[in-house]
Amino acid sequence: MSHPVGRGPDDKWTDPNCPVARTLDLAGDKWSLLVIRDAMDGVRSFTEFQRRTGIARNILTDRLHKLIAHGLLTQRTAPSGRRREYVLTDAGRDLFPVIVTLRQWGERHAFAPGEPHSTLVDQHGTPVPEIAPASADGILLDTDTTHVQKTR
C-alpha cells in the first residue's frame, strides 16, 4: 500500500474528491512537471535543473521545495559528499506513465508533420510504444467507454 504524498497545513484541494485535481494540485504546473521529467532523466543538481529548463532560480527553488514537501522528490548528500542532490521518491517515479503520456500526446499534437523532436527509447534504443488504457479483458478504453463514479 502506498502512502499519500504530503500537503502543507494551509494547502487547500481544488476539488477534494477528484484524483486528477489532487494530482494537479501536487505536481501540475509546468515547472514542476519539467523538474520531474528531468529528474527521471537523471538530473540531480540545482544547476543542471536550471540549465535544462531555463527556469529562474527563485522559481526553481520554490518548485524543488514544494516537490520535496509533497513527497515527490527528496534531498540527499551527493556521492562526492560536497553537495546535496535531488532524487525522485517512489511517488515521483510513479509519475513516469504520466510524463510518457504527455510526451506521446505532444508528439501527436504539438509538432507539425516531420518537425524534429526528441524520442523516448528503451535500453535497446527502441521507441517506447504508445500508452493506451485497456480494460481487464484487453479492450482499449476512451472517453466513450468510461465514466467517473462519484463517491458519496
In a domain, 85, yes or no: yes
Count structural domains, the chain: 1
In a domain, 87, yes or no: yes
In a domain, 81, yes or no: yes
**Residue 26 grid coordinates:** 501536487
**Residue 76 grid coordinates:** 540527499
In a domain, 60, yes or no: yes
Task: Using the predicted structure, report yes or no on whether residue 109 has a pLDDT greater than 80.
Answer: yes
For residue 73, give its domain range.
Answer: 19-95
Instruction: CATH number of the domain at 42, please.
Output: 1.10.10.10
28: pLDDT confidence band, cut at 50, 70 and 90?
A: confident
- Contact indicator for 26, 72 with CB cutoff of 8 Å: yes
As a whole number of angstroms, the distance between CA 99 and CA 105 comes to: 10
In a domain, 30, yes or no: yes
pTM: 0.86
Task: Using the predicted structure, report yes or no on whether residue 6 has a pLDDT greater than 70.
Answer: no
**Residue 41 grid coordinates:** 532523466
Number of C-beta neighbours around residue 73 at 10 A: 24
In a domain, 72, yes or no: yes
Task: Tell me what the mean pLDDT of segment 31-42 comes to.
Answer: 97
In a domain, 128, yes or no: no
